[in-house]
Amino acid sequence: MQDKYSEKILRVNLTEKKIETHSLSEDITRKYIGGSGLAAKILYEETFPNIDPLGEDNLLIFMAGPFTGTPVPCGRHSVVAKSPLTGIWGEASVGGYWGKELKRTGYGGIVIKGSSEEPVYLYIDNGEIEIRGAGYLWGKDNYEVDQVLKEEIGKDIVVSSIGPAGEKLIRISGIFTDGKDSRAAARCGLGAVAGSKKLKAVVVRGSKKPKVFYEEKLKKSLKEIIPSMREIPKRLKNLGTANLVIPCEQIGDFPIKNWREGEWDKAERISGEEMAETILLGHYHCAGCPIGCGRKVKISEGPYAGVEGAGPEYETLGLMGGSCLVDNLEAIAKANELCNRYGIDTIEVGGAIAFAMEAYERGLIKKEDAGGVSLRWGNPEALIEMIHQIGEGKGLGKLLGEGVARASQKIGGLALEFAIHSKGLAFPAHDPRAYNSIALGYATSNRGACHLQGFTHVFERGLTSPELGYSKVQEPFGQVGKGEFVAKLQNLMCLFDSLAICKFTLFGGVSVSNLLDWLNFITGWNMSLEEFMKAGERIFNLKRLYNVNCGVSRKDDTLPFRILTHKRGKGGAANNLPPLGRMLGEYYEYRKWNEYGIPSNEKLNDLEIKIK
């Protein structure tokens, strides 16, 4: 009989240069699973809501999950801290190979506190753990850091690092891994948290195999599902997430001209099909993934020659392309590479530049404010130049690097009307007027506007989940029942982010029962479906309670007026406006939150969450 499942985490205090190892009890892991669930428990219990996100009391938490590093495909990890961009719960999920390699060191997570006086990186090689000087890496971009450290230590290490933007504490900076294949924990400004701690990188290398309690049962189950995971999402494999550009534009789900328009006749110029015919070099996989949605691109000629590495994802194409009306695919590929090198979030960058272009159109920003750049719609040179300014924290870019919400407040006046964000986080490239569930999901997502924290729209365009009570595809423009629907899917997505598995596996036929079986096979537990789903609900509510302590309530569960009141008049969702108030009331009632959006004591007691 094997030992019970347990998870070891590293605790690093950069102020005191102290490293400790802690084992988590089975009771805690059963309740919070791993990934962002465990990180939520730690951040909630060990920090005060009024801490400075860029102060040494903030925690920077890297957390893998039970699935990461095992034969279960598409393992991921989460990065969590109080967000310097939004001032509330900050979370970013990322694929690639770093999480798998962390688990191979024997650790499931790292909790980093304090701050170093000088630049450092954390080195973890199985049982060898060191805080090493990183002064010679400071100022280098993410591609350079990866290259230098691999030349110095060995090509078998995996590096997670910040670029110059994180060093400069730019609030839309992220934490990047896998070098030129560039997977990013980009949302919520967590790169600035690492920068405030003078933490340039976390380097991992391991050789330990994560324990699986019932290995043969797991292999048998995976053998049955892997073929469908290879076959079903062929469009995703062949064209990457860029395959969504044309269909999303057709149904009114694509951001166009800072969310003002309903259709764009140039979408095909930046589509996955166009990428495949022009600049596509190949594709790459995250650890254990049978799909391989990552795009490798190369540009050999013209003004953007020299680009080689990770190609732009759908979100990047939507925000830098459609929202800015830039129809030059090579320019967007260059912009994407710059963001990866500087270490900044392409969603926030695209949203900020589209906002700046509208402010320029309306006379709120002048050419001289932008350093002589003409911020006209569709100008690829403006896109590139503003990314340089944002990444370097210079000129207008310094303001835009604070995020859309802060930039609009600084400019003032009419700018507040077209700053498209929720809770300070810029919209990803899905329009809530195309799916009422996304409207409710953006308004209630714990980190701010996020389609992935509910992932509801995929159940309104093809997928079903009988285990959650949805045997039929849901109606995108429907109203009744959306509150319960969104809440259930948010709970499930908390489990995905805690198990640490990619949500694209849903397209390959992975069900809730599959997830539960795999968890039980790995841990040796006998968890029921009820206990499993309750863990997801517990995790979502704990994140909400963290936000409540930061001042979040009903007043914050809203969307920009443009989204709630502006009918675009054309396109696939020409006249739909999401009935947020009605859906929100139903949502609160189902969650057993009060009219202010605060979880009731009854609900918290039921979920065994202690109020601080």
Per-residue confidence (pLDDT) for residue 1, from 0 to 100: 44
Span 239-272, pLDDT tens digits: 999 999 999 999 999 999 999 999 999 999 999 9
Q: Contact at 8 Å (CB) between 191 and 162? A: yes
Largest CA distance in the chain: 72
pTM tops 0.85, yes or no: yes
CA distance 55 to 322: 37
Q: Which residues pair with 11 in a beta bridge?
A: 20, 111
Q: Please state, rounded to an integer, the average pLDDT across all residues of the chain.
A: 96
DSSP characters over 35-53: HHHHHHHHHHHHS-TTS-T
Give rounded-to-5 percent helix, strand, coil for the chain: 45, 15, 40
C-alpha to C-alpha distances, 31 to 38, 79, 320, 499, 536, nearest whole angstrom: 9, 19, 40, 12, 9
278 confidence band (pLDDT: 50, 70, 90): very high
Q: How confident is the model at residue 423 (pLDDT cuts 50, 70, 90)?
A: very high
Strand, helix or coil at 158? strand
* Beta bridge partners of residue 93, listed in sequence order: 78
Report which of 70, 92, 73, 103 is spatially closest to residue 502, judged by C-alpha positions.
73
pLDDT at 229: 84
Q: Is 464 within 8 Å of 506 (Cβ atoms)?
A: no
28-75 tens-digit pLDDT: 999 999 999 999 999 999 999 999 999 999 999 999 999 999 999 988
Instruction: Identify the three-state secondary structure at position 441.
Output: helix
Which residue has tokens 């809530």?
432
SS3 state at 424: coil
Q: What's the pLDDT at 233?
A: 76
If DSSP states are collapsed to H, E and C, what string results for 465-515?
EHHHCECCCCCCCCCCCHHHHHHHHHHHHHHHHHHCECHHHHHHCCCHHHH
In the structure, what pLDDT confidence band is assigned to residue 2 with cuts at 50, 70 and 90?
A: low
The pLDDT of 546-564, averaged and rounded, is 98
Instruction: Give the number of other CB atoms < 10 A from CB of residue 413.
Output: 10
Rounded distance between C-alpha atoms, residue 514 and residue 511, angstroms: 5
Write out pLDDT tens, residues 425-442. Answer: 999 999 999 999 999 999
Token pair 């835009």: residue: 400
> Between residues 7 and 487, which one has the greater pLDDT?
487
* Residues contacting residue 561 through CB under 8 Å, at least 6 positions apart: 417
Structure confidence by residue, pLDDT tens digits, 450-467: 999 999 999 998 999 999
**E strands, 526-580, in order:** none
What's residue 237's pLDDT? 86
pLDDT digits (tens, 9 = 90+) for 286-331: 998 988 899 999 999 999 999 999 999 999 999 999 999 999 999 9
H or E stretch covering 133: strand 128-133
Residue-wise pLDDT tens digits, 333-349: 999 999 999 999 999 99
What are the structural domains, with CATH classification, of the chain?
7-205 (3.60.9.10), 235-426 (1.10.569.10), 436-606 (1.10.599.10)
- Asked whether the predicted pLDDT for residue 232 surpasses 80, the reply is no
Cα(209)–Cα(198) distance, integer angstroms: 31
pLDDT in tens, 125-165: 998 999 999 999 999 999 999 999 999 999 999 999 999 99
List C-alpha distances in Å: 505 to 149, 237, 277, 496, 502: 32, 12, 27, 10, 6
